[in-house]
Structure formats: structure tokens, C-alpha cells
């Protein structure tokens, strides 16, 4: 992720200091200029200094006192005078009218005060992700994030076989195991020499060759960045995950993430980086109840429109429709994986994923899911196999 340049505009001395520490602490942005007063006109020296800094982001602090009107006018002015810069407003979430006014004035983000490094990092990630989509600066990979509604719903099975299907159809696919205790290697019957912790510890010297050395190659060509084989004692920071995934999407066409049941700031950040978040649930009450809570958690940082429901071990339940499942989970259904428990559990025990059984119903199902997720990425768009696809 390229480093972002940030200008801070705040009248409170302590708040200016705090914001600078937080910005520089994200490791993906740096403060290039600080203004102690709000600009009031295009010819204002403050405006000219901000323009001279040519920042990617202008951060405007909106106080809770009577100066909020001056700060909001500054947001509008800076938005007009620096159309290429993103305006981030920092203020209280207890003032809904101020939030609305700030967004109408041109603020791209409204971030809660007091602010955290994670809040800023997530906002920076959203900005750079949106910029890449608009600029189309070059072919970059797509990330598909697979997460359990609750433990045992099958995210690892979905992630492993989806990654194998993408590799078979398009090549250049990586599988990243973010689970606290990684199981993807067992599903693939491979023995990694390195895992994600090794990669994040060496980000300071990471290049394409070193990245490949940390990957474990499956016989079908899929590359695995394994999860830890023992519970990790040191968790990578969110900033480290941003840098790691920036390298991955520059190196691979598709990156599938098995998040398992992990729910923390780092996993939510990776979900922010993803093209699509696949929420895996079964049709039982506990799964769908949990799915609704997980989508609320992930949706708090702007992921809701990318969330899609995958029903695993699917079977028709009299009196319960797919629409009922969507309503219970609060997520639009994208795919159904048939209930073939014994075939899947046997494949896991043998380390022989069902995608290797190419002529079976369930293997065709995963090929169809891969095709659905990439149908806008290829020149020839064939219809996906429709037995499992939702309408």
C-alpha cells in the first residue's frame, strides 16, 4: 500500500499532536503539514499552504463547541480548492446533524473523536481501495474473504476448494490461512516450512522472491500461505496485514482468505481489502443467528455491500425458504453447497479436496462458485452451472 500524505487542520494543540501520532502510527500514512487555524477563503494563506503540500488526505478536526460551523465551512472550502484530495472529518458521533453537514460539505469520511490508529487505518484502506478501482492503474489481484458464521460451518472447506477451483480455471491463485490455528495445510495434505507469521516478520525486506519462498505449493499449482501450526503468541498488526496483502494482490490474480472464525480488527481490515466477503453458514438457527451478528460486526466498517451468504451443507427444509435464510442473516445469498457430509469429511481426513474429484456434483459446485465470482473478469462469459446458483 503506497504511503499517503496527510495534512492536519485543527485549532486545539493537543488534538493536533494526537492526530499526528495516530496518522504516523498507521505506517501507511505520514503527516506532511499541520495547520493551527481553519481556512476561510480561497486566498487564505492556510489554504495556499495546504495546496502547496498537495496531500492525499486533509484531516479536519470538528470541535464540539460553537466552532463547528467554522470547521464545516473549512471542509467545504478545502473540498472545492483541493478536488483531488480526500477530506476526512474528525468529530463526535453524538452530533448527527454535524455528521450530515460534514458529508454534504464534501467530507469523504467522518471518523469518531477520540480517534484510534485502527479507525484511521481502516479509513486509509477504504480510500486507497476506492482509488485503485477508479484509476485502474494496472492489473491487481482480487481478494475473496471467507468467514464462518460460527465454528464448524465449513469456511476452510469452502476456502480451500474455491482456491483450487480458481487455480484450475485461471491460475495465479494464493490461499491465505488467517485462522488462529491453521487447518488449510491439512486439507491440502502439504507440510509448510513457513507460515504467515514468518512472512509478517520479514515485511521490511519482502520482495516477490521472498514472498514466494514463504508459500507452500500444492501439486495443482495453488500457493498456500499457511496459518500457524500452534496457537500464535504474537499477532501481526493491522498495518502489517495491509502491507502483506498489498504485495499479495500485486503478485497473484486471486487471493482466497480462510478467516475461519477469527473476528478481530485485523480480520475486519482484510475484509475491507476484499472484493467479496463470503459468510459461510448452515441452515440451522444458531448458524443464521450468528451470521446476522457477524455481518453487523464486519459491516460496521463499510463491508456490508460486499457481504454474500454461502449456505453450506444445504438441504431443503420444509417451510423454510432461501429468502428466510437471507432475512435471518441479513445478507444476500450467492451460493449453495450441497449436503455431502461424508464425502467432504472423508476428503479432509485423506487430504484430498473434493475439487480433485472433478466429475462429482460437489466439485462442479465449487467450480460454479469460482465462475460466479469471476464472471466479470473474463472475456468469454459462460453461464455458471445453475443447480446451486441462486436467482
User: Per-domain residue ranges for the chain?
Assistant: 4-135, 142-373
At 176, phi and psi to the nearest 5?
A: -115, 125
Q: Which three cell numbers mark 34? A: 499541520
- Does residue 382 have a pLDDT over 50? no
pLDDT tens profile 213-233? 899 999 889 999 999 888 765
| Average of per-residue pLDDT values in the chain | 87
pLDDT tens profile 162-184? 999 999 999 999 999 999 899 99
**When comparing pLDDT for 305 and 16, which is higher?**
16
Tell me, yes or no, if the pTM score tops 0.75: no
- Does residue 273 have a pLDDT over 90? no
Q: Is the CB of residue 315 less than 8 Å from the CB of residue 286?
A: no
Task: List Cβ neighbours of 87 (8 Å cut-off, separation of 6 or more).
Answer: 57, 58, 60, 75, 78, 79, 106, 107, 108, 109
Report pLDDT for 192: 94
| 4-135 is classed CATH 3.40.50.2300 | yes
Domains 4-135 and 142-373 fall in the same CATH topology: yes
- Topology (CATH) of 142-373: Rossmann fold (3.40.50)
The arithmetic mean of pLDDT across residues 60-76, rounded, is: 88
Share of the chain above pLDDT 90, in %: 54
Q: Which three cell numbers mark 160? A: 480451500
State how far Cα 121 lies from the chain centre: 12
Report pLDDT for 234: 54
CA–CA dist 71, 107 (Å, integer):
11
At 299, phi and psi to the nearest 5?
A: -75, -15
- Does residue 37 have a pLDDT over 60? yes
CA–CA dist 200, 178 (Å, integer):
12
Report pLDDT for 139: 64
Amino acid at each position: 500500500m503506497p504511503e499517503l500524505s496527510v495534512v492536519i487542520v485543527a485549532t486545539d494543540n493537543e488534538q493536533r499532536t494526537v492526530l499526528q501520532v495516530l496518522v504516523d502510527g498507521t505506517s501507511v500514512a505520514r503527516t506532511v503539514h499541520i495547520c493551527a487555524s481553519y481556512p476561510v477563503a480561497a486566498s487564505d494563506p492556510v489554504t495556499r499552504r495546504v495546496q502547496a503540500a498537495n496531500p492525499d488526505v486533509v484531516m479536519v478536526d470538528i470541535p464540539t463547541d460553537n466552532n463547528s460551523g467554522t470547521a464545516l465551512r473549512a471542509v467545504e472550502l478545502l473540498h472545492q480548492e483541493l478536488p483531488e484530495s480526500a477530506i476526512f472529518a474528525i468529530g463526535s458521533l453524538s452530533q448527527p446533524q454535524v455528521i450530515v453537514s460534514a458529508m454534504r460539505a464534501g467530507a469523504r469520511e467522518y471518523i469518531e473523536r477520540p480517534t484510534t490508529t485502527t479507525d484511521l487505518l481502516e479509513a486509509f484502506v477504504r480510500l486507497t481501495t476506492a482509488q485503485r478501482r477508479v484509476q485502474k492503474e494496472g492489473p491487481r489481484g482480487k481478494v475473496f474473504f471467507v468467514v464462518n458464521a460460527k465454528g464448524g460451518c465449513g469456511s476452510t472447506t469452502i476456502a480451500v476448494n474455491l482456491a483450487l477451483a480458481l487455480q484450475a480455471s485461471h491460475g495465479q491463485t494464493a490461499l491465505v490461512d488467517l485462522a488462529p490455528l491453521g487447518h488449510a495445510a491439512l486439507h491440502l495434505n502439504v507440510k509448510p516450512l513457513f507460515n504467515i507469521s514468518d512472512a509478517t516478520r520479514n515485511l521490511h525486506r519482502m520482495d516477490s522472491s521472498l514472498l514466494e519462498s514463504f508459500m507452500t505449493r500444492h501439486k495443482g499449482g495453488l500457493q498456500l500461505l499457511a496459518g500457524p501450526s500452534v496457537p500464535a503468541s504474537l499477532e501481526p498488526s493491522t498495518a502489517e496485514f495491509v502491507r502483506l496483502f498489498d504485495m499479495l494482490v500485486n503478485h497473484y490474480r486471486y487471493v482466497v482468505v480462510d478467516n475461519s472464525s477469527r473476528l478481530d480488527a485485523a480480520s475486519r481490515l482484510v475484509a475491507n481489502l476484499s472484493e467479496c466477503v463470503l459468510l459461510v453458514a448452515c441452515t440451522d438457527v444458531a448458524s443464521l443467528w450468528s451470521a446476522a451478528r457477524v455481518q453487523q460486526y464486519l459491516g460496521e466498517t463499510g463491508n456490508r455491500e460486499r457481504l454474500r451468504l454461502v449456505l453450506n451443507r444445504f438441504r431443503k427444509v420444509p417451510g423454510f425458504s432461501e429468502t428466510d435464510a437471507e432475512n435471518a442473516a441479513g445478507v444476500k445469498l450467492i451460493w449453495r453447497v450441497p449436503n455431502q457430509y461424508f464425502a467432504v469429511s472423508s476428503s479432509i481426513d485423506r487430504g484430498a479436496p473434493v475439487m480433485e474429484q472433478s466429475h462429482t456434483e460437489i466439485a462442479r459446485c465449487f467450480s460454479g462458485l469460482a465462475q460466479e465470482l469471476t464472471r466479470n473478469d473474463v472475456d468469454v462469459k459462460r453461464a455458471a452451472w445453475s443447480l446451486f446458483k441462486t436467482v
